[in-house]
Amino acid sequence: MKAFIAANWKMNKTVSEAREFLKTFIPLVKGVSDVDIVIAPPFISLAAASEEMKGSNVQLSSQDVFWEEKGAFTGEVSPQMLLDAGCKHVIVGHSERRQYFHEDDGVVNKKIKAARKAGLDVIFCCGESLQEREAGKTFEVIQREVEKGLVDVGPDHLVVAYEPIWAIGTGKTATPEQAQEAHAFIAGMLAGVYGNKSGIIRIIYGGSVTPDNVDTLMGCKDISGALVGGASLKPDSFSRIVHFKKEK
């Protein structure tokens, strides 16, 4: 199974900055064939990024999606619009969407089903806050978010991203042991839901992934990739992450 390394630029980079990044980055990863490389720029840069990615081994993702095909939903973007802009993937359920925009598990589920119906691959995010971890509720939170988020969703074209909220943009990273423990729990849950078909679902880690810790994280048994934030904003930094070497 290929590793899956995705960049989430969040609210960073103008259209011209996105083009400049890709002109530098794409040649740095040209020879990589054993990793699915995905970049999620802001909505305004999707079309430009798609143009720059043509003929390359880098795939385009959106950071979010709405669940309706069209209509009076000011500011929202439909799955069909994302496909037309060149997207193959979409991130759904990111902790920042849950925290700042109050998206609950039901909303996340509707977005996942709409994206899959349209033919988009989904990067589904789950994870606990620091308060929930300190209260010993890590597995309880993950179980709820996975069970409710994936209601009536098949295992195909699905990547699950474990993102401990307390490690996102804080410089704190879950230890390899903490990350592996959570990933193993998710793998067990998915096996319970999908049986043998769960083996096609890659479980990736998101939470202050850097060039300095990616090799160790990728050496963990149940970690199949990474969802990278700040360290994906510079071509050389993200290229080093794509070129990880598993530590055993």
Residues in the chain: 248
DSSP three-state, residue 15:
helix
**Which one from 52, 128, 145, 163 is the annotated catalytic residue?**
163
Token pair of 108 as six digits: 């996340």
Residue 163 designated active-site:
yes
Report the distance separating Cα 165 and Cα 44, nearest Å. Answer: 26
Residue 147 designated active-site:
no
**Which one from 52, 94, 96, 103 is the annotated catalytic residue?**
94
Element (H, E) at 120: none
Instruction: Give the DSSP letter string of 131-200.
Output: HHHHTT-HHHHHHHHHHHHTTT--STTEEEEE--GGGSSSS----HHHHHHHHHHHHHHHHHHHGGGGGG
- Active-site residue numbers? 94, 163
